[in-house]
Structure 1
Amino acid sequence: MKTRTWTPPPAYDLGRTLGVLARGPGDPAFRPGRDGSVWRASRTPEGPGTLHVTDHGGRIHAEAWGPGAEWLLDTLPTLLGATDDPGAFTPRHRLVHEAHRRNPGLRLARTGLVLESLIPSVLEQKVTSDEAYRAWRILLQQHGEPAPGPDPRMRVMPSAQAWAMIPSWDWHKAGVDGKRSATIVRAARVAARLEEAAAMDAARASARLQAVPGIGPWTAAETLQRSNGAPDAVTVGDLHLPKIVGYALTGTRGTDDETMLDLLTPYEGQRHRACRLILLSGVTPPRRAPRYSVNDIRAL
């Protein structure tokens, strides 16, 4: 085990910052501790590693295990938002101002790992969150590997080569249709090129990801928000986000992508951060219709 300490900015919020990296409850690669700490299992450029991060009264203490331990500790400040610049954000709506005031410790995490964020984002295309989270759990349990360190429940996601070798029947048992599985396989085959996007500006990184058939603006934005900590990577093509943003900022229902982008114009360069704060406000339109239905392709 290796360790490192880091002093974050005042009022730092570890849970809010790293919470977006979890892929639902029961994520084998992410576990919140009862003491407010966070456990993460990652496949780093140096190999598998597990990171345990704890906030000790304004001092971040990190422990790491495995071949990737040194890489995880070297990149710890960046992961925790040290390169993020929340001072570049100015609230323009009362609701956003209040959410900003209530969440002073929010930082945009930056993992520096593209495939780690890309694959679960592809799994979330056109299905419910529960379906995607279930698929992620099954695939990591079956094709990942035990994470280094003391927690036997944690798993490291498969290597790029292993993703590309998953047989069709295992995708099917995980509830992943052929379109999404084919996209993941194509991405895994060019993983080295995609990982270069972690060091690119947002526009070039998005173009690099979208060069892979099956990856569009929605998936690229969801990936870069996490891998690059991109403050302006606003998610378009989402079923719920435009409606939430429109209702929170104007009180009207049924907002589409175009109107959402118009509403977010005052936050140009910081639109993803604005959306994070709007979501944290908890203001959502009341439901009038059933939730998006769950489909089980295993029964087909």
Structure 2
Amino acid sequence: MDAPFDLPRTLGVLQRGYADPAIRVDSGSFAGGPGGTPGAGAWLALRQYDTVGRHVGAVALRFDQLDTSRVRVHAISDSGEALGSALDRVPTLLGAEDDWSEVEFLLDALGDRISTTLAQVRRRHPGVRLPATGGLFDQLVTATLEQKVTHREARHGWRHLLRRHGEQAPTASTLRTPDWLRLPLTGGQLKRVPSWEWHQMWVQPPMSRTILRLAERASSVHRLGASTPVETSSVGELSEQLTAISGIGPWTTAEALQRSHGSADLPAVGDYHLAHFVGEALTGKRTDDAGMLDLLQPFRPHRQRVIRLLKLSGFRSERFGPRLAPEDHRAR
């Protein structure tokens, strides 16, 4: 890359909690900003599928940011086909195809107070990109685990699912992968998880049933993901197709496609906090999903990029009432 790149802020959105078994980002000692983030790194475990949905192998990737715009990548795989596929995908995964020039021009052209502030945030963080892993199936599974539960429950479910049933990532004598690094489960592996273990992992029955429906359609989901380019209109059409699966709604597809395809214009409608956050950040008042979409309308087709800038701005919404503390029914 010839432009500034911020590895931890780009890949950090893929990590589910501090102990995610599939990816962990080390932000290094530098705080980021225009200088990029030299010294940052990350481990990431992925499965690779071909265009017809066939599993071709597993890959462990190690990223190290060398200077403001260069990232060194080491790849370890159990298959030559998977290795080649993963290396071909690395630039897209890192957001090399995520072009912010149009939204930067739009913010300058609008010229109002909010747009000017967002433009200033972008200038402070020019190295932030929207990553695109290509792993649509994996992202749908993790997003499903996050439906209508707290972050604590969702991260517990994902962490224990991979620790109990996930395979270790490939390793090599020249570069040892961490013992904790685990691969996402295939559709076949998910179908073999005992029903009572979903309960132990804090995964509610509606979510486990949805995951099993995804597992039954794994090959189709892989094919759809592989055939859809990282491009706004195609990704929007894919989102609509995915909602035909019972239990998969607009929130789940948005959360998944933001990470698998770097979707720049799919806000997560139905999120417990997002509409409130966007409303307060842009107007000082809370709003609902319809109000959030109205506020973001001038920024189409870059609504997710604008949400990313709002989160980078340091704005914090007001907190009303105590944090939700769900009751633990796993022992029942």
Deviation at 1:102, TM superposition (A): 1.5
Identify the residue that residue 59 of structure 1 maps to in structure 2.
Answer: 70
Deviation at 1:290, TM superposition (A): 1.1
Q: TM-score, normalised by structure 2?
A: 0.85
Deviation at 1:9, TM superposition (A): 3.5
> Tell me, what secondary structure is at the counterpart of 2:330?
helix
> Tell me, what secondary structure is at the counterpart of 1:134?
helix
Q: TM-score, normalised by structure 1?
A: 0.94
The reply on whether 1:31 has 2:53 as its aligned counterpart is no
- Equivalent residues of 1:51, 1:69 under 8 A apart: no
The reply on whether 1:278 has 2:289 as its aligned counterpart is no
Match for 2:84 among 70, 75, 93?
A: 70
> What residue identity is the alignment partner of 1:97?
A
Match for 1:139 among 143, 161, 170?
A: 161
Deviation at 1:183, TM superposition (A): 0.2
- Equivalent residues of 2:11, 2:25 under 8 A apart: no
What percentage of residue pairs aligned between the two structures are identical? Answer: 41
Match for 2:48 among 26, 44, 47?
A: 44
CA distance, structure 2, for counterparts of residue 215 and residue 259 of structure 1: 23
Q: Return closer, same or farther for 1:116/1:162 CA change in 2, 3 Å cut-off.
A: same
Deviation at 1:248, TM superposition (A): 0.5
CA distance, structure 1, for counterparts of residue 156 and residue 331 of structure 2: 16
Deviation at 1:203, TM superposition (A): 2.3
Question: How many residues are aligned here?
Answer: 292
The reply on whether 1:165 has 2:192 as its aligned counterpart is yes
Match for 1:193 among 212, 220, 228?
A: 220
Which region of structure 1 is more displaced relative to structure 2, 173-182 or 75-84?
A: 75-84
CA distance, structure 1, for counterparts of residue 194 and residue 133 of structure 2: 29
The reply on whether 1:100 has 2:122 as its aligned counterpart is yes
CA distance, structure 1, for counterparts of residue 25 and residue 213 of structure 2: 32
Superposed structure 1 runs of 4+ greater than 4 Å apart: none
Identify the residue that residue 52 of structure 2 maps to in structure 1.
Answer: none
Which region of structure 1 is more displaced relative to structure 2, 39-48 or 263-272?
A: 39-48
> What residue identity is the alignment partner of 1:109?
P
- Equivalent residues of 1:160, 1:191 under 8 A apart: yes
1:251-270 alpha-carbon deviations (Å, 9 max, x no partner): 113x1000000000111111
1:102-154 alpha-carbon deviations (Å, 9 max, x no partner): 11111111111111111110000000111101110100011110111211111
1:144-167 alpha-carbon deviations (Å, 9 max, x no partner): 101112111111111111112211
